[in-house]
Chain A
Amino acid sequence: MSHSVPQAPGLRRLPFGVPAVIPGRTLSFGLTLFWVTALVVLPLTALATKPFGRGFKVMLHALGDARALHALALSFGCALGAASLCTLLGLLLAWVLERVRPPGWRLLDALVDIPFALPTAVAGITLTSLYAPTGWIGAPLDRLGIKVAFTPLGITLALVFVGLPFVVRTVLPVLRELPRELEEAAETLGARPGQIARRVLLPALAPALATGFGLAFARGVGEYGSVIFIAGNRPMVSEIAPLLIVIRLQEFNYAGASAIGLVMLLAAALCLLAITALRRRLPASLGVRLGGAA
């Protein structure tokens, strides 16, 4: 199977100076530049320069703060754990949805979109009520001595909820394009299920799994609404980086807020570049249709 993206018909490069055939270039190009400059470039420039406004030392000082370091480590750590769990669960759900098609698979398919449909604040209070020591899941776990709400574990579970659809929706279409004859051939040749998964499925799905992981991770690092209710927000324990930005702003510590914000922006940009590069390795028929983070 070819993994290169073919050029769409009619797409070819003309030097910029050559007048375009299709009318409206000045208008559409001008409006786009204005829109991107006003809404993205200008605000992000403000963020990129602000931490250095009072010198490089102030910026490093704001980041060297133990509370800021802990918040950043917590956000990245929880996002990493959640994205890993999402990848496992997402692969399981996608495989069952596409290969087993159990009774009621359409319902299962619809359930996967629930996190996309719930606004983050709604997800936040709902998950908190579910995992609180009095909640449906929280109460039985509490009796076992496991505390979920108001701990890093709660943060991770909230991020699993938000990130899960990204993995399923990235892996599912790739699995659908993958001929199931490959698995059947491996089976007739005597491969055990474990071997089929390791040698046939996983190599073909690796770019899609990595893309889904990247999307879930990028979303998890910056997530705010669905996390702050369940986090408990104790400094140095369960205080995530986005919340610390909000707290620094309330203290009018703009340098501190923007230093953390700049780190998060750089992380987001790196994730985006990695995802864009990975997406090129997805099957060509999906390369154009595949979306990104929501």
Chain B
Amino acid sequence: MSVSPPLRRSPMALGLTLLAWLAAVLFLLLPLASLGTEALRKGLGGVLRALADDDALAAIRLSALVVAVCVPVNTVCGLFAAYALTKYDFPFRGLLLVLIELPLSVSPVVAGLVWVLLFGAHGWFGPWLAAHNIAVVFALPGILLATLFVTFPFVARTVMPVMESQGRAPEEAATMLGAGFGSVFLRVTLPEIRWALLSGVLLCAARALGEFGAVSVVSGHIPGQTETVPLHIETLYNGYDTVGAFSLAAVLALCSGAMVASRTLMDWLRGRRSVAR
């Protein structure tokens, strides 16, 4: 893409530009500024005090655990799915693609609801789980399953277009030269997709960290035990601890903002601004 000179400097273009800036400031910049202001209402000390709270620390630990479990699982499975879908032919490929994308367009609340229907007290496996004294819903396993569901497609769908555009010839050539699955995958496929993979992992992690709706449905909302950071923000906010809620919110926004920004930066450095999300 070459950077061509501005098309028009007409009064209409100027007017539209001002309108675009106004919209961006009103709809996009002001919320960000408001987030910072609310968090710093009692100064940096207020933020630090809110973060040092026991329940807040427990929420941060739980969120870190959720990211640490869900991101690797969905990365490995997503990689294999992308590989299977692009390197081989099989019937019902389109159906499988739709099933992989579905978690992205479905409501987060529905993503939580399905696990309650499976593992809740009146769910399919509820009685069996109760008899064996295993807690899934309103406990850690439920939170993990809900997050796995909503972060399910990110790696697969960021990697798939790159694998597809690469074709099958490199893998076929490697196979003819005697390489097994391990060497084909690690030495031929993986190096080609490493940037897309990193991009997908960042998206997956940002979503796992910030997921609210799905986790809210399957979490018991017990402060210090089953509250991730977004859920704890809700508890603080509804308890009128505005500074606490916005402090935690600002830290969460910084983390996921850093992930999204490093993805954008990566695209810029590589000279193309992809829109795969």
Give chain A's interface residues, CB within 8 Å of chain B.
8-11, 13-16, 20-25, 27-29, 31-32, 35-36, 39-44, 46-47, 50, 89, 92-93, 95-97, 99-102, 108, 110-127, 129-130, 135-137, 160-161, 164, 169-170, 172-173, 176, 180, 183-184, 193, 218-219, 221-225, 229, 241-243, 245-246, 249, 252, 254, 257-258, 261, 264-265, 268-269, 271-273, 275-276, 286, 288-294
- Some 20 contacts from A to B, beta carbons below 8 A apart, are A8-B167, A10-B169, A22-B184, A39-B103, A40-B152, A96-B16, A115-B28, A118-B210, A119-B210, A121-B230, A129-B34, A130-B30, A193-B10, A242-B110, A257-B113, A258-B113, A265-B106, A268-B110, A272-B102, A288-B165
Stretch at the interface among B44-52, B88-96, B127-135: B88-96
On chain A, the residues within 8 Å of B120 by CB distance are 254
How far, in whole Å, are A164 and B24 apart by their CA atoms in the complex? 10
Contact B31 A46 (CB under 8 A): no
Shortest Cβ distance from residue A273 to the other chain B in the assembled complex, whole angstroms: 7
Contact B165 A93 (CB under 8 A): no
Q: Which residue of A lies closest to B172 (CB)?
A: A21
Number of interface residues of B (CB under 8 A): 114
How far, in whole Å, are A44 and B103 apart by their CA atoms in the complex? 10
Give chain B's interface residues, CB within 8 Å of chain A.
1, 4, 6-8, 10, 12-13, 16-17, 19-21, 23-24, 26-32, 34-35, 38, 77, 80-81, 83-85, 87-91, 96, 98-110, 113-118, 120, 122-124, 145, 148-149, 152, 157-158, 161, 164-169, 171-172, 175, 179-181, 184-185, 203, 206-207, 209-213, 216-217, 230-231, 233-234, 237, 242, 245-246, 249-250, 252-253, 256-257, 259-261, 264, 273-277
How far, in whole Å, are A111 and B237 apart by their CA atoms in the complex? 26
Shortest Cβ distance from residue A25 to the other chain B in the assembled complex, whole angstroms: 5
Q: Which residue of A lies closest to B81 (CB)?
A: A32
Contact B277 A92 (CB under 8 A): no
On chain B, the residues within 8 Å of A176 by CB distance are 1
Contact B106 A222 (CB under 8 A): yes
On chain A, the residues within 8 Å of B91 by CB distance are 16
On chain B, the residues within 8 Å of A273 by CB distance are 98
Contact B96 A36 (CB under 8 A): yes
How far, in whole Å, are A246 and B100 apart by their CA atoms in the complex? 25
Do A22 and B168 form a contact, CB below 8 Å, given A118-B257, A122-B253, A135-B34? yes
Contact A113 B109 (CB under 8 A): no
Shortest Cβ distance from residue A277 to the other chain B in the assembled complex, whole angstroms: 11
Shortest Cβ distance from residue A219 to the other chain B in the assembled complex, whole angstroms: 8
How far, in whole Å, are A217 and B243 apart by their CA atoms in the complex? 33
On chain A, the residues within 8 Å of B149 by CB distance are 39-40, 43
Contact A40 B257 (CB under 8 A): no
On chain A, the residues within 8 Å of B249 by CB distance are 119, 121-122, 125-126
On chain A, the residues within 8 Å of B167 by CB distance are 8-11
Contact A111 B28 (CB under 8 A): yes
Q: Which residue of A lies closest to B157 (CB)?
A: A291
Contact A264 B20 (CB under 8 A): no
Residue among A50, A184, A193 with the most chain B CB within 10 A?
A50
Do A172 and B124 form a contact, CB below 8 Å, given A31-B80, A96-B16, A108-B20? no
The one of A164, A218, A223, A292 in contact with B157, judged by C-beta atoms closer than 8 angstroms, is: A292
Contact B107 A223 (CB under 8 A): yes
The one of A16, A93, A110, A272 in contact with B98, judged by C-beta atoms closer than 8 angstroms, is: A272
How far, in whole Å, are A272 and B157 apart by their CA atoms in the complex? 14
How far, in whole Å, are A243 and B152 apart by their CA atoms in the complex? 23
On chain A, the residues within 8 Å of B26 by CB distance are 137
On chain A, the residues within 8 Å of B29 by CB distance are 111, 114
The one of A36, A116, A229, A276 in contact with B237, judged by C-beta atoms closer than 8 angstroms, is: A229
Contact B210 A136 (CB under 8 A): no
Do A46 and B123 form a contact, CB below 8 Å, given A95-B16, A160-B27? yes
Do A114 and B31 form a contact, CB below 8 Å, given A23-B180, A122-B210, A225-B108? yes
Contact A96 B105 (CB under 8 A): no
How far, in whole Å, are A273 and B98 apart by their CA atoms in the complex? 8
Do A100 and B110 form a contact, CB below 8 Å, given A46-B117, A254-B122? no
Contact A11 B106 (CB under 8 A): no
